[in-house]
Homo-oligomer: A and B are copies of this chain.
Amino acid sequence: MRKIFRELKSLDEVRRILESLTIDLGVEEIDILEAYNRVLAEDVYAKCDVPPFDRATMDGFAVKAEDTFLAEEDKPIKLKIVGSVKAGVIPSVEVERGCAVEISTGAVMPKGANAVVMVEYTTSKDNYVYIYKPVAPMENVASAGSDAMAGELIVRKGKVLSAREIGLIASAGVDRVKVFRRPRVAIISTGDEIVEVGNPLDGGKIYDVNLYTITSKVRECGCLAFSMGVVGDDYHEIKRTVENALKMCDIVITSGSTSAGLGDVIYRVFEELGDVLVHGIAVKPGKPTVIAKAKNKVLFGLPGYPVSALMIFEVIVAPFLRKLTGLREKRNVVKAVLQVKTYSDVGRREFRPVAVVKTDRFVVYPFTSYSGSVSTLAKADGFIEIPENVAFLEEGEEVDVILFGDYKPSDLVIIGSHCLGVDLLIELSGVDAKVINVGSTGGLLAVKRGEADLSGTHLLDESGVYNVPFIKRLGLKDVILVKGYEREQGFLVAKGNPKGIRSFKDLLREDVVFINRNPGSGTRVLIDMELRELAEKMGVSFEEVVKKIKGYDVEAKTHTAVAVAVLMGKADVGVGIRTVADRYGLDFIPLRPEEFDFVVRKDRLSKDSVRRFIETLRSEEFREAVKRLPGIRVSERTGETLEF
């Protein structure tokens, strides 16, 4: 049907290809004041002895050590002071037996002296110094060349210059060094729909992202970035721009125009200008990546999707650039425990963004549905690699997390059930929050383990009580429950309610197909509770009632799945929250509201962010603002607390 990337290469193959690729960058000579973090392209030899002369390392008196050998604390030796030497001058005085010369730290040792007595071990009077402690020859003296000798190799080629090496080079009188030229990298965004930021956005266009992200990344890798702007999806225009880039840069990185659907423009351009080495990689995201070599230069064609482009840069381009610069790989990898079972496609290596939480160990929550959105990526702390032959990773498995930079904890960690009300509370309280959506039970367990400061939860017990029974049942201690808000629950039915559903009794009708929720969900508990009441009213058993409901044994796992089933006509009715009904254009028949509460660890109550979140929940501002969210409302209990 469509062009297939004929030879998808594995990530390992691509890494091997890049491992063997070299570019000769050449060398430049620079002043050592500018040499920080540059890579030395020559062995550096000392131009002079360091220190250049025998040098006093203490303030005191330069003496012949032999004169002091008999000195004792209560029997000082008396020497005649015959002069003084300051740092920076050549002493004219000479030290003979029985004599001493006052000397400053850093000064040249006068002729005849072979040791310095620290001033602390002396007293002076009438041009005589009394010495209370013997010194050995060369004590408190740095002898000429002891640090480095003229002609000695002091720093080797290939060294990344830090302050310490630069200091050593300076001390040896070397003011300019040869370093490797930094790689020059051109960055080009392509796509008819792409507009450079700062320009007006015509209909159908979006702002460019890749030029900005890749430029930042190139700088992070220690290279010089040349941002060449945006060009359309046109073979000739792209070819011209890449040719220009090749004239001035060592590396060219394009993004976009790689997909087969667009005629594989980048592949054709690269093939025209050099040798294509890679055309498609068995990874997710980032499959349509192209890599080519043109003489002493290398071309990367990244996918257009910002998240894909950035992940491929991180995994493939960055290590190559770092190798070129000679700088160290900056990958920050930590071992972490996966808290959610995670599925992946077999056959492609997957890079999955994750949220990281640190307690006494690192734990990770993968972003559940892989999202191509930049805002999602901006929220991620790093990513995990899921190998080609792995269909899923188990909860509790240890994984390697490649962090985006250093791990920085958030002010507030909320793990639990997702709700627009939580987003609103964060917005109003103005805290820097990390929100991880794993459902109510997962959230309570995260609070128990100390990963979360607080959790949003809406679990219903058979007793009809929300949340409280679960705190006890899951063994949470030293927590408080803060009553949150109510969410409207009800029947989701097709627009216009064609089957005329009014109550649970209607589910027993011959012409009505129901869709149930999974056991353990709060909604399922609600459904069964209502059906039990109905059975009681009807004077029959619960089992008898259930047997009559078509679809009772078909279980959807989320509110959304219920809505889609109703929308697709697979079911006539299900139970869910109003927000979902609204989103899918379904009709909504209210039942009883559910109680969405917050469970907070007591040891986190002193945190400013936690206090602000709870204060916001109780505020007039929230009470007002929440009115714009359909199906959510505060109650007279909002903000009440219960201790556990």
Contact = CB atoms under 8 A, between A and B. Distances in A.
Contacts of A404: 162, 164
Contacts of A86: 192
A630 interface: no
Contacts of A215: 33, 36
A388 B297 CA distance: 56
A1 B61 CA distance: 14
A213 B35 CA distance: 10
Nearest to A565: B136
A469 interface: no
A262 interface: yes
Interface string A192-226: 11100110010111111111111111011000000
Interface in A363-417: 372-378, 380, 404-406, 408
Contacts of A520: none
Given A197-B170, A216-B163, A262 B104 contact: yes
A633 to B, nearest CB: 23
Interface stretch (A50-58, A339-347, A450-458, A483-491): A50-58
A375 B208 contact: no
B207 A172 contact: yes
Interface string A159-186: 0011111111111111110000000000
A48 interface: yes
B32 A432 contact: no
Interface string A453-468: 0000000000000000
Contacts of A432: 156
A644 interface: no
A466 to B, nearest CB: 30
Given A154-B375, A164-B213, A310-B167, A107 B208 contact: no
A206 to B, nearest CB: 6
A23 B50 CA distance: 39
A146 B106 contact: no
Nearest to A408: B328
Contacts of A155: 378
A123 B1 CA distance: 8
Given A156-B432, A167-B306, A193 B87 contact: yes
A312 to B, nearest CB: 13
Given A33-B227, A106-B191, A261 B88 contact: no
A191 B88 contact: yes
B310 A372 contact: no
Interface string A16-36: 000000000000000011011
What is the total number of copies of this protein in its complex? 2
A134 interface: yes
Given A36-B219, A88-B205, A106-B193, A213 B166 contact: yes
A65 B235 CA distance: 35
A88 B193 contact: yes
A153 interface: yes
Interface in A110-140: 119-120, 123, 134, 136-137
Nearest to A567: B137
A182 to B, nearest CB: 15
Contacts of A171: 206-207, 209, 306, 374-375
Contacts of A220: 36-37, 162-163
A553 interface: no
Contacts of A584: 137
A174 B192 contact: no
A581 to B, nearest CB: 13
A632 to B, nearest CB: 18
A107 B204 contact: yes
A569 interface: yes
Contact of A193 (B57, B107, B212, B310): B107
Interface of A: 1-2, 32-33, 35-37, 48, 50-53, 55, 57, 59, 65-66, 69, 86-91, 104-108, 119-120, 123, 134, 136-137, 142, 146-148, 153-156, 161-176, 191-194, 197-198, 201, 203-217, 219-220, 227, 233, 259, 261-262, 304, 306, 310, 328, 372-378, 380, 404-406, 408, 427, 432, 564, 567-569, 584-585
Q: Which 9 A-B pairs have the closest CB atoms?
A: A88-B193, A175-B198, A88-B192, A163-B216, A87-B193, A36-B216, A167-B213, A90-B203, A163-B213
Given A154-B375, A170-B197, 4 more contacts: A69-B569, A134-B568, A164-B378, A170-B207
7 contacts: A36-B216, A36-B219, A87-B233, A88-B194, A146-B373, A163-B212, A171-B206
